């Protein structure tokens, strides 16, 4: 089980990535493929071509953390529809937990929950 605060964003790459990459290779993929900053503290999710493995990359205090999961049977579900149109899809931390547990996000229904209003700082 992953415990992530609700403010953390989760970005799932829509195209497969070679998962033999480690910290530097995945952080470069975040920059080049997803167009994001890997040092921002958000979670970046990559799958292999067969969708039997997933790697999560996140910057934590002072360094990167990688979580790697390989399925012995089955595949990880797709969390997006028209994947050829986008480089990544943003999901919330609850959907990430369901993805890692093998729950089809398209088949399930997530009911809305109350959340405090986000305040934006005036410039």
Residue 119 lies in a domain: no
Question: What does the pLDDT average to over 7-11?
Answer: 89
Residue 107 confidence (pLDDT): 61
Range of the domain at 44: 10-101
Is the per-residue pLDDT at 31 higher than 90? yes
Residue 55 lies in a domain: yes
- The burial class, CB within 10 Å (0-12 / 13-18 / 19+), for 21 is middle
What confidence tier does 49 reach under pLDDT thresholds 50, 70, 90?
very high
8 A C-beta contact, residue 26 and residue 42: no
Is the per-residue pLDDT at 120 higher than 80? no
Is the per-residue pLDDT at 78 higher than 60? yes
From the centroid of its chain, how far is CA 103? 15
Residue 63 lies in a domain: yes
Residue 21 lies in a domain: yes
Residue 121 lies in a domain: no
d(CA 54, CA 35): 20
Q: For the chain, how many structural domains are there in total?
A: 1
Residue 113 lies in a domain: no
CA angle 94, 36, 109 (to 5 degrees): 20
Residue 107 lies in a domain: no
d(CA 42, CA 46): 13
Residue 77 lies in a domain: yes
Question: What does the pLDDT average to over 32-48?
Answer: 93
Structure confidence by residue, pLDDT tens digits, 88-117? 889 888 888 888 887 776 665 555 656 677
Residue spans of beta strands (DSSP E) within 14-117: 43-47, 53-60, 63-70, 88-91
Which residue would you say has higher pLDDT here, 84 or 45? 45
Is the per-residue pLDDT at 81 higher than 90? no
Residue 57 confidence (pLDDT): 96
What confidence tier does 80 reach under pLDDT thresholds 50, 70, 90?
low
pTM, entire model: 0.80
């Amino acid at each position: 089980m992953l415990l992530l605060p609700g403010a953390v964003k989760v970005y799932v790459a829509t195209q497969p990535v070679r998962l033999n990459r480690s910290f530097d290779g995945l952080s470069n993929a975040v920059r080049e493929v997803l167009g994001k900053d890997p040092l921002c503290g958000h979670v970046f999710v990559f799958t292999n071509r067969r969708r039997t493995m997933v790697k999560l990359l996140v910057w934590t205090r002072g360094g990167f953390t990688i979580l790697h999961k390989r399925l012995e049977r089955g595949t990880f579900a797709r969390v997006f529809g028209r994947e050829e149109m986008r480089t990544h899809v943003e999901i919330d931390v609850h959907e990430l937990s369901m993805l890692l547990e093998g729950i089809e996000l398209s088949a399930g229904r997530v009911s809305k929950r109350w959340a405090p209003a986000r305040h934006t700082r005036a410039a």
